[in-house]
């Protein structure tokens, strides 16, 4: 029996494949679209049984090639570019693709774990898995929102577990291919190494310079949540996956710089000191993001805790320090 991981060469998908390997699983069908061929590097240190292009996989799926051979589907494949405006592409790639997998899993009576997104909440300010708080600001968020609605309608009559994970701001190893859509921790790290400073947005929407707040969650914790649901094997629903706490972009910048300083044998510095040194600088808030930007996110993780997940989440200071050490390691 195989584990199917879609988006397997992507950020979260490849981390899930790697963790399955660490747990002794190598019967993995990796599904992705390698139009961006550089993503292969995320799978180069992983063990898989076979690789399928998304289009080939869907054709084989519909032809019954995998009937009776799948233990679970971990669906991470999606276009995650929040600025993508091609709605037809977004709905086909994110919504219709997910529907096909949902139908397969219910027909075959196998668990489906899938990636939703905190983008369904739009500007917030309440981040609770209930319809009244869901107001996506872009077509990416809408594609995730619409599939969540289908899942909700089918939960009562499900034949196998269905678990959707609304990821908040995920950062960590194997995201370099995402380029401009990579996490702020990734961008701050590269800015600091190349320029000796990091650049944050000036204040807007009632927040001071760099004081916009997000729920930043390490991919390590995201993978732990997925493994819990795979192993527990019976939980269904839609769950926020974040730390349950918000921290500022300034916090991420300070954590990134101080992790770099620690690696160089230098003492940590405070936000005020880093501002005075010019190591943290601010740029005007882009006009084209006004009204389309989440200035605050904070996951309500009550449903996740009620599902039995009890592990503590890494703070920005803990998780970013680990991530920086990973990026500084020689390849």
Instruction: Tell me 85's DSSP state.
Output: -
Quote the Cα angle for 33-160-127, to 5°: 70
β-bridge partners, 143: none
Assigned token pair, 205: 């929407």
Whether residue 140 lies in the annotated active site? yes
Cα 307 to Cα 41, 172, 234, 240, distances in angstroms: 34, 25, 10, 11
Q: What's the CA gap between 107 and 123, in Å, rounded?
A: 37
Query: Please, is 300 exposed, middle or buried when counting C-beta atoms within 10 Å of its C-beta (0-12, 13-18, 19+)?
Result: middle
Assigned token pair, 33: 């679209």
Q: What's the CA gap between 292 and 308, in Å, rounded?
A: 34
Query: Which candidate in 97, 114, 140, 167 is catalytic?
Result: 140
Residue 230 CA to chain centroid, in angstroms?
Answer: 17
> 41: alpha, beta or left, given left = phi > 0 and alpha = psi -120 to 50?
alpha
List the end-to-end C-alpha distance of the chain, in Å, as a whole number: 33
Residue corresponding to tokens 């599904």? 31
Whether residue 178 lies in the annotated active site? yes
Q: What's the CA gap between 312 and 206, in Å, rounded?
A: 31
Assigned token pair, 264: 């160089």
Q: What's the CA gap between 4 and 74, in Å, rounded?
A: 6
Q: What's the CA gap between 20 and 105, in Å, rounded?
A: 20
Q: Are 110 and 70 in contact (CB under 8 A)?
A: yes
Query: Which candidate in 54, 95, 178, 224 is catalytic?
Result: 178
Assigned token pair, 96: 């219709």
The set of catalytic residues is: 140, 178
């Amino acid at each position: 029996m195989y584990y199917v991981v879609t988006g397997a060469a992507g950020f979260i998908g490849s981390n899930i494949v790697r963790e399955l390997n660490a747990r002794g699983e190598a019967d993995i069908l990796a599904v992705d679209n390698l139009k961006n061929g550089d993503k292969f590097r995320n799978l180069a240190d992983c063990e898989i049984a076979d690789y399928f292009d998304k289009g080939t996989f869907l054709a084989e799926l519909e032809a019954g090639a995998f009937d009776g051979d799948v233990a679970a589907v971990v669906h991470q494949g999606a276009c995650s570019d929040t600025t993508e405006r091609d709605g037809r592409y977004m709905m086909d790639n994110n919504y219709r693709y997910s529907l096909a997998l949902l139908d397969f899993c219910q027909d075959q009576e196998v668990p489906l774990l899938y990636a939703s997104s905190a983008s369904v909440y739009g500007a917030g300010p309440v981040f609770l898995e209930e319809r009244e708080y869901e107001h996506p600001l872009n077509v990416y968020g809408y594609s995730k929102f619409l599939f969540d609605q289908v899942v909700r309608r089918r939960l009562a009559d499900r034949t196998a577990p269905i678990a959707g994970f609304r990821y908040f701001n995920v950062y960590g190893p194997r995201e370099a291919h995402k380029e401009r859509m990579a996490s702020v921790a990734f961008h701050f790290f590269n800015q600091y190494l190349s320029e000796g400073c990091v650049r944050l947005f000036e204040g807007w929407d009632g927040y001071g310079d760099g004081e916009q707040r997000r729920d930043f969650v390490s991919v390590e914790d995201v993978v732990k949540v997925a493994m819990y649901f795979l192993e527990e094997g019976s939980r269904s629903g839609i769950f926020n996956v974040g730390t349950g706490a918000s921290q500022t972009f300034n916090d991420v910048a300070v954590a990134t710089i101080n992790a770099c300083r620690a690696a160089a044998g230098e003492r940590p510095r405070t936000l005020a000191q880093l501002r005075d040194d010019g190591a943290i600088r601010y740029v005007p808030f882009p006009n084209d993001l006004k009204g389309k930007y989440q200035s605050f996110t904070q996951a309500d993780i009550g449903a996740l805790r009620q599902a039995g997940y009890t592990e503590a989440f890494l703070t920005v200071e803990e998780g970013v320090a680990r991530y920086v050490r990973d990026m500084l390691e020689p390849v």
